[in-house]
Amino acid sequence: MTRIEFIDFLKDFRKDLKDNKSNWRNKTLEDFFEAMESYTEDIQGFYDNMEMDIDADKPTWENFKTILKGATIYE
């Protein structure tokens, strides 16, 4: 994923919050950041469980996208 593709994702992501807020578990910024922190701590386990050959310690635009999406529903 390129930086430009990530920007496009962010536009769609913000629109999704506006259009589908009821689908988001973490609706406040505080809840979202708390979930984002937790999801970031656990993301390597997600990658391993899904048998994805991704090293979470090597940040990419795709990793950022996955973290943001995960934080919408992560408890």
Q: What is the pLDDT of residues 18-68, one digit of tens each?
A: 999 999 999 999 999 999 999 999 999 999 999 999 999 998 999 999 999
In angstroms, rounded to a whole number, what is the distance separating the alpha carbons of residues 22 and 45? 27
**Total number of domains constituting the chain:** 1
Contact yes or no for 67/32 (Cβ under 8 A): no
What was the pLDDT predicted at 75?
80
Q: Which domain holds residue 34?
A: 3-71
Helix axes 61-71, 29-49, angle to 10 degrees: 120
pTM for the full model?
0.80
What was the pLDDT predicted at 7?
96
Token output for 16:
């999704």
Model pLDDT for residues 54-63, shown as the tens digit of each residue? 999 998 999 9
